[in-house]
Structure 1
Amino acid sequence: MHQMNDLRRVDLNLLVILDALLSEQHVTRAAERLHLSQPAVSHALARLRDLLGDPLLVRAGAHLVATARALELMAPLAEALAQVQSLLVPDAFDPAAAKRTFRLAMSDYGAAIILPGLIRKLRREAPGIDLQISHASREGMLDGVLNGDIDVAAGVFPELPNEVHSVPLFEEHYVCLVDRHSLPGDGTLDLATYLARPHVLLEMRGSGTPEIERALTGIRERRHVAISLPHWSVAPGVISGTDLILTVAARGLRNIDQASLTVVPPPFEIPSFSFVLAWHKRRGGDQALKWLMGRIEEGIVRA
C-alpha cells in the first residue's frame, strides 16, 4: 500500500519515463525509446529518486542495475500504465508513424528464416522502424534479454527464467547434410557410417547443440567432431566434396546446392524442438514490441 501511495505522488509523464528506465536500464536507450533528450531523462530520474526515496538504478560495472525497490515497482507500474493506455488510447501504436529501433538476437539460422519476410513487411508497413541484429550463444541471448540489452531473442531455449516469457514460432527437427556422392548406392545413412565419419558442429562460444549429444548418449554412442564452426553460412561449402556430416535443423537447408549435397534423416532418433521468441516480462506492456512479434509470427505461419 505504501508503494502505491508513493506512485500517486508522481505525475503520469514521470511514470512513463520510469517504466522506460526500468525496462531499458540505460538512460540513453530510454531517451531514444521516448524520443526525449538524455539530459531530460537524467533530470526525470533525479526527480524520481527524490520522490521515491530510492536510487532506483545503480551502476554495476558498465551497466545500470535496478534496486530492490525498483524491482518491486516494475509489475504494478507496468500494469498501471497498460490500463491507462487501454482506457485512453486503445490503439496507441501506429506502425506507419512509428520511429523506433528494436534490438533482436538470433543465430544466422534464425536470421535466414525470420529476417527476409520481416524486413519486407517493415519497409511496407513501418519504414520508421529500424532493427539491430546481434548473434550470440543461447546463454548470451538470454543474458541480453535479462539485462535489457536485447528486446526479443529468437532461438531454442529449453529452460527459461521466470522473468522471461516466450511464444513458440514453429516445431523443428534435425536432418543430416552430406555430400551426395559420399553415400552408398541406396542413398541412405546408417548408424555405423554416421559414427565412423567425422562431423561438423555449429556452435557459438561453446553452446553447441546439446540435443544431438543427448540423443547419442541415450544410445550409448559418441561422434567425432572434426570441425566446429560459429556460423552456418560456410558449412555447406565445407561439406561439399568431403566425407563430413552436418546434423542440423531442417529449415536451414532449404536453399542448398542439390547438385552436390543431399539431406537425409539421422539414423537415430533426435527429439524435435520448439523455436521461440523470448522477451522480458517487464516488456509486456510495450505495444510496439507486441506488434513487431506479431509480424514475425505472421511471417513464419505463412512461410
Structure 2
Amino acid sequence: MHRMNDLRRIDLNLLVVLDALLSEQHVTRAAERLHLSQPAVSHGLARLRDLLGDPLLVRGGGGLLPTPRALELATPLREALAQVQSLLAPNAFDPASTQRTFRLAMSDYGAAIILPGLIRSLRRDAPGIDLQITHGSREGMLDQVLDGDIDLAAGVFPELPNALCSTPLFEEHYVCLVDRDSLPAEVVLDLPTYLARPHVLLEMRGSGTPEIERALTAIRERRHVAIRLPHWSVAPEFIGGTDLILTVASRALHTVDRENLIVVPPPFDIPPFAFVLAWHQRRGGDQALNWLKGRIEQVIVRG
C-alpha cells in the first residue's frame, strides 16, 4: 500500500518532461518538443528535483548536463515510456499520423543499402517519423542497443548477447575490385597475385573485416595492407590506375565504374555472411518499431 501511495504522488506527465529534458539538455528545446511553455517545463523540472531528491540537470557547456542519477534514469525511463505507449494503444499505431524519432545504427555500407529506399518510403507513408543515424564498431552498436541509446542496429553480428533479437535482411558474399589493366587479358586473380599485391582494408575503430583475415588464416596466409580506411564509399576511387586490391562485400560495388575496374571472385574461400537487424527483446511489443522493421525488410526485398 505504501508503494501505491508513492505512485499516486507522481504526475506521470513529469516523466515525459524528464525524458525530453534528458534528451535535449535544454529547457527551451524540451518545451518546444513537448509543445509546452518554458515556465511549465522549468516548473516540472523543479517538481522532479523535489520528488527524486536530486538536481537531475545542472548548468554547464551552454546547456544542462545530467547528473549521475539522471544518467541512471535515462535508459529505463525511455524504455518505460515506450512500453506505456504500446500498452495504452497496442492496435492504434497509424504510420500516417505518428510523430516519432527512431535512432538507427549502421555503417555507411548499411546506410547506402537501406536508407535511400527507406527514406522515400517514410516520406510517402509516414512523414511524421524522423530518423537519427549513428555508426560505430560492431561491438559499439550492440552496446548502444543494450543500453537503450539505439532502437535498431543493422550490420554483421555473428554473435548477439542473449538480451538482443535479430532478423536477417540478406546474405552477402565478398568480391575483389581491381584495375582492369592490372590483370592479364584472361582476367584471373590467382592466390599468388592476390598475396603479392597491396590491399585496401576497411575497418571501423579497429574492428577490421575479420571474415577475410580468418579465411586467410585458415589457409595459413597473410596479405599486405597498404591503406586502412574507416569507410568504404571512397575506397573504390583508389583502385583505378593502381595495383591495389579491395576485398569487400559485393553490394558495396553496385555503382562502381565497370569500364576501368573489374569485379572478380577472391582466389580463396571466404564464407558468406548474414546482414541483420538487431533490437532489444524488451522492445518486442513496440508496434511502431515493428512497423519500421517491416519497412526496412521491404526496402531490401525491392532493392
TM-score range, shorter chain: 0.7 to 0.9
| Structure 1 residues not aligned, in runs of 5+ | none
Structure 2 runs not aligned, ≥5 long: 59-64
1:80-91 equivalence runs, <5 A: 82-86=86-90, 90-91=91-92
1:46-65 pair list within 5 angstroms: none
Contact 2:82-2:286 at 8 Å conserved across structures = no
Work out the CA distance in 1 between the residues paired with 2:3 and 2:301. Answer: 43
Residue aligning to 2:236: 236
User: In 2, distance between residues paired with 1:127 and 1:69?
Assistant: 30
Displacement of 1:146 in angstroms is 2.7
Q: Which residue of 1 aligns with 2:176?
A: 176
State the 1:48 CA deviation.
Answer: 8.2
Alignment match, 1:152: 152
1 CA distance for matches of 2:6 and 2:14? 12
Give the TM-score of the pair, scaled to structure 2: 0.78
CA-based RMSD of the aligned residues comes to 3.7
Residue-by-residue CA offset, 1:194-253 (whole Å, 9 max, x unaligned): 111110001111111011111111111111100001111211110111111111111111
Paired residue type of 2:207 = S
Give the partner amino acid of 2:89. Answer: Q
1:100 aligns with 2:104: no
Contact persistence 1:106–1:136 (CA under 8 A): yes
Alignment of 1:242-261 (within 5 A): 242-261=242-261
Tell me how far 1:165 sits from its aligned partner: 2.1
* Higher alpha-carbon deviation: 67-76 or 143-152: 67-76
Where 2:161 maps in the other structure, the secondary structure is coil
Aligned length: 295
d(CA) in 2 for partners of 1:75, 1:299: 27
Conserved 8 A contact 1:176-1:246: yes
Report the Cα distance in structure 1 between the residues aligned to 2:109 and 2:217, rounded to whole angstroms. 25
Partner of 1:117: 117
Q: Give the Å deviation of 1:95.
A: 1.6
Is this contact kept in 1: 2:15–2:77, CA < 8 A?
Answer: no
TM (norm. structure 1) is 0.78
| Counterpart-to-counterpart distance in 2, 1:281 and 1:26 | 26
Distance 1:30 1:280 in 2: 26
8 A contact 1:78–1:282 mirrored in 2: no
Say whether residues 1:300 and 2:291 are aligned partners. no
> 2:79·2:148 contact (CA, 8 Å) conserved in 1?
no
* Equivalent AA in structure 2 for residue 173 of structure 1: H
Contact 2:75–2:148 (Cα < 8 Å) also in 1? no
Query: Match of 2:133?
Result: 133
**Shift in Å at residue 283 of structure 1?**
2.9
Q: Which moved more, 1:280-289 or 1:185-194?
A: 280-289
* SS at 1:145 equivalent: helix
Q: What's the counterpart of residue 210 of structure 2?
A: 210
Q: Secondary structure at the match of 1:201?
A: strand
* Aligned CA distance change for structure 1 residues 107 and 176 (closer, same or farther; 3 Å): same
C-alpha change, 1:95 and 1:243, in structure 2 (3 Å) is same
Q: Secondary structure, in 3 states, of the residue corresponding to 2:115? A: helix
Match in the other structure for 1:201: 201
Q: Percent identity?
A: 72
